[in-house]
Amino acid sequence: MGFSYQNHILHAESVAIADLMKTYGSPLYVYSRTDIEYNWHLFSHAFGIHPHLVCYAVKANSNLAVLSVLAKIGSGFDVVSNGELERILLAGADASRCVFSGVAKTNIEIKRALEVGIFCFNVESMAEMIRIEQVAKEMSMQAPISLRVNPDVDAKTHPYISTGLKENKFGVDIDDAIPIYKMAYNSPYLKVKGIDCHIGSQLTKISPFLDALDKVLELVAKLGKLNIHVTHLDLGGGVGIKYDNEQTIDINAYISSILDKVGSLKIILEPGRAIVGNAGIFVTKVEFLKQNSDKSFAIIDGAMNDLLRPSFYQAYHQVLPIDENAEGIDAHWDLVGPICETGDFLAKNRRLSLSEGDYLALMSAGAYGSTMSSNYNSRPRVAEVMVLGSQYTLVRERETIQDLFNKEYMIND
Ligand SMILES: *Cc1c(COP(=O)(O)O)cnc(C)c1O
């Protein structure tokens, strides 16, 4: 696949990582275009001729290169803000293959989405539905809507990425959905299209998805009795990837088990992580090695502001040397960044042979890596590169120091 050792040297497709580091400096995000396309096609092909739309969840990685590559192969998109909507339009996406999710859509976002003709709003509450209706009325339009229902199933994932329980802020309780659908059905400014649910992220089993689907199908039947006929089901994203040795979901089995249940209803999925997660790595340099009686620290030039997942979710990223034969001090290392926070680590207790100046790759960093990065500690955001075969392209420039304060003003009196 995209990242592999060739003669003990780590490559992105056919390009040695060391060459990229020489050209672009450290730290660096590297993406494999082949992997991104392959992962998207896995979803799309599994549907065969069943009506479907694979809407890549932009928040996983919103780099314009990633979006344009996906737009070219016909991907739909799931956006959660005006910023994401403008990104996909710039990247050449077809708005009519786009769904708009997100917990609190603003008037401006709703107006713009209607203007460009998105496929559907995934509505999060009665209040939001009334707002959408109002904006559509002002524009003399009909807004296509699905209601995001909360099926109250446990996705059995990290609590921060579990979204389908009653205690979560997302969507409306599935038992409260009917009056909201009735209101939408009776409004001349709303068009009922489907039902939406998204129960969490990094799921490693199919069963929670199918439990949620069963509940959604009960709602389809109840609505049908009221003569409210939905034409699609949006089952969200959440398919997990391999970070360590966890079991993962077989995409074909997952999609065929959905299709077994849904008759001829069109199915929308919103995979994010499963498209880009394993298609990207984060490469960082060992600055210093520091060992005391019971700890070995490798102080690296990458930090929690560049790759937040380890600090935020206790997430695991495999760490690989870019030269498998590199010799150094063999120990169990904690990889820690230069930021003034104890939580600033990218990996803990990893057996590696390290020397100062070595480059290390944090694998599976393509999703929720660069998009969650910040300027904390006034660190410029890192560069990003996309590889295809033996070709590579800079797809985001490294920020400069000047970029850090471009939009700030001093008080001068
Ligand atoms: C985050 C999110 C997704 C994507 O989740 P992944 O786990 O990356 O597949 C899809 N839909 C919604 C509504 C989301 O919030």
What pLDDT does 161 receive?
64
Residue 198 near residue 232 (C-beta atoms within 8 A): no
Which atom of ligand 1 is least distant from the CA of 271? 9
What are the DSSP calls for 198-253, one per residue?
--BSSB--SHHHHHHHHHHHHHHHHHHHTT----EEE----B---SSS-----HHH
The whole-number pLDDT of residue 169 equals: 72
For a substitution probing ligand 1, which of 59, 158, 233, 275 has the most ligand atoms within 8 Å of its CB? 59
Q: Where does CATH 3.20.20.10 sit in the chain?
A: 102-269
What is the best residue among 55, 56, 195, 201 to mutate for testing ligand 1's pocket, by most ligand atoms within 8 Å of CB?
Answer: 201
**Low-confidence residues of the chain, pLDDT below 50?**
none
**Residues of each annotated binding site for pyridoxal 5'-phosphate:** 238, 270-273, 368
Q: What is the pLDDT of residue 311?
A: 95
- Whose C-alpha lies nearest to ligand 1, atom 3? 237
Ligand 1 pocket mutation, candidates 39, 101, 209, criterion most atoms within 8 A of CB: 101
How crowded is residue 3: how many other Cβ atoms within 10 Å of its Cβ?
Answer: 21
The domain made up of 102-269 has a fold known as TIM Barrel (3.20.20)
Binding residues for substrate: 273, 309, 313, 341, 368
Cα-to-centroid distance, 318 and ligand 1 (Å): 23
Compute, in angstroms, the gap from residue 135 CA to the centroid of ligand 1: 26
Per residue in 77-121, pLDDT tens? Answer: 999 999 999 999 999 999 999 999 998 999 999 999 999 999 999
Atom from ligand 1 closest to the CA of residue 238 = 7
For residues 262 and 224, is the Cβ–Cβ distance under 8 A? no
According to CATH, where is 2.40.37.10 located in the chain?
3-31+277-405
Pair type for strands 359-362 and 345-354? unpaired
**How far away, in angstroms, is 248 Cα from ligand 1 center?**
17
* Among 407, 381, 249, 251, CA closest to 305: 381
3-state secondary structure the chain: CCEEEECCEEEECCEEHHHHHHHHCCCEEEEEHHHHHHHHHHHHHHCCCCCEEEEEEHHHCCCHHHHHHHHHCCCEEEECCHHHHHHHHHCCCCHHHEEECCCCCCHHHHHHHHHHCCCEEEECCHHHHHHHHHHHHHCCCCEEEEEEEECCCCCCCCHHHECCCCCCCCCEEHHHHHHHHHHHHHCCCEEEEEEECCCECCECCCHHHHHHHHHHHHHHHHHHHCCCCCCEEECCCCECCCCCCCCCCCHHHHHHHHHCCCCCCEEEECCCHHHHHHHEEEEEEEEEEEECCCCEEEEECCCCCCCCHHHHHCCCCCEEECECCCCCEEEEEEEECCCCCCCCEEEEEEEEEECCCCEEEECCCCCCCHHHCCCCCCCCCCEEEEEECCEEEEEECCCCHHHHHCCCCCCCC
The CA 236 to ligand 1 mean position distance, Å, reads: 6
Place of tokens 């490798």: 298
The architecture CATH gives domain 3-31+277-405: Beta Barrel (2.40)
Q: Which residues line ligand 1 (CB under 6 A)?
A: 57, 59-60, 78, 101, 198, 201, 236-239, 270-274, 367
Q: Which atom of ligand 1 is nearest to the CA of 196?
A: 13
Distance 113 CA to ligand 1 centre (A): 19
Confidence at residue 159, expressed as pLDDT on a 0 to 100 scale? 67
